[in-house]
């Protein structure tokens, strides 16, 4: 098991695409909602473990802007799990000193859900440990569009010279503003794509895919990803 004293280099920021809940349930002849329930339980366990390894920022892809296209009963089950998590989050991760932030477009959620999101963030605001970004109703293209609109408004209203804009200006208007770009993106479930997750931020991230479905992704699976990450030669466009 990894810890903060490990001789391996621990990435500062890790993103995880938690994929495979539905397939995990199908393999067991269970409803997809059961897979999401087990995936939510695993989310807590893995988050606590990762916080002990020295990772400073963890971003988890929980629900994308495209996931609304799924069957209504599955979306409702996911929203129910999300609501229950928010209720639990008022005390969850307190002993671990994990700071919880939600990234994504909150306008699609009902007012009570938005209130719970804000309350859970306020409760965790003063924590000093690992930052946990939970991406809900998140889509990277929408995030980039939002940043561009903010910059255009600044050009229009404040006379900012468009030629003065830099990549840092874009970064500072993303949901992840103020945090380092991810060093490593992990995807469970065997797929080899980013699926609209942190597209701008992951320009130089290392990508690691595992066939392991999310509910079965345990501490040793995360360790394997870190070991593989340490084998990579990150040149950032250089030689």
Q: In 3-state terms, what secondary structure has residue 197?
A: coil
Under 8 Å between Cβ of 59 and 16: yes
Per-residue pLDDT, 142: 97
Given the DSSP bridges, would you call strands 57-64 and 206-209 parallel, antiparallel or unpaired? unpaired
Residue of 3, 19, 110, 154 marked catalytic: 19
Q: What structural domains does the chain harbor?
A: 13-139+180-229 (3.40.1180.10)
> Is 73 annotated as catalytic?
no
pLDDT greater at residue 14 or residue 80: 14
> Is 67 annotated as catalytic?
yes
pLDDT greater at residue 238 or residue 232: 232
Rounded to an integer, what distance in angstroms lies between the CA atom of residue 91 and that of residue 99? 12
Tokens read off for 116: 């719970």
Per-residue pLDDT, 98: 94
Per-residue pLDDT, 239: 62
Q: Binning pLDDT at 50, 70 and 90, where does residue 124 land? A: very high
Q: Binning pLDDT at 50, 70 and 90, where does residue 85 land? A: confident
Residue of 3, 5, 42, 67 marked catalytic: 67
205-237 confidence digits (pLDDT tens): 999 999 999 999 999 999 999 999 999 998 887
Mean pLDDT in residue range 192-202: 98
Per-residue pLDDT, 203: 96
User: Hey, CA dihedral for 122, 87, 16, 150, is it positive or negative?
Assistant: negative
Question: Which residues lie below 8 Å from residue 183, measured CB to CB, with a gap of 6+?
Answer: 11, 12, 13, 14, 205, 206, 229
């Amino acid at each position: 098991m990894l810890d903060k004293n490990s001789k391996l280099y621990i990435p500062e920021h890790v993103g995880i695409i938690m994929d495979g809940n539905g397939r995990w349930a199908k393999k067991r002849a269970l409803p997809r909602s059961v897979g999401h329930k087990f995936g939510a339980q695993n989310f807590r366990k893995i988050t606590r473990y990762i916080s002990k390894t020295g990772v400073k920022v963890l971003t988890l892809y929980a629900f994308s802007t495209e996931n609304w296209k799924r069957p209504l009963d599955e979306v409702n089950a996911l929203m129910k799990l999300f609501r229950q998590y928010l209720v639990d989050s008022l005390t969850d991760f307190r002993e671990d000193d994990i700071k919880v932030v939600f990234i994504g477009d909150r306008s699609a959620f009902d007012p009570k859900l938005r209130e719970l999101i804000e309350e859970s963030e306020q409760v965790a605001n003063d924590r000093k440990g690992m930052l946990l970004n939970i991406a809900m109703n998140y889509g990277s293209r929408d995030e980039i569009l939002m940043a561009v609109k903010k910059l255009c408004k600044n050009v229009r209203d404040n006379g900012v010279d468009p030629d003065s804009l830099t990549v840092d200006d874009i970064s500072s208007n993303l949901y992840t503003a103020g945090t380092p770009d991810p060093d490593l993106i992990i995807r469970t479930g065997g797929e080899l794509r980013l699926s609209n997750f942190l597209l701008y931020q992951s320009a130089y991230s290392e990508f690691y895919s595992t066939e392991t479905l999310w509910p079965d992704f345990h501490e040793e699976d995360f360790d394997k990803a870190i070991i593989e990450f340490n084998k990579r030669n990150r040149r950032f466009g250089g030689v």
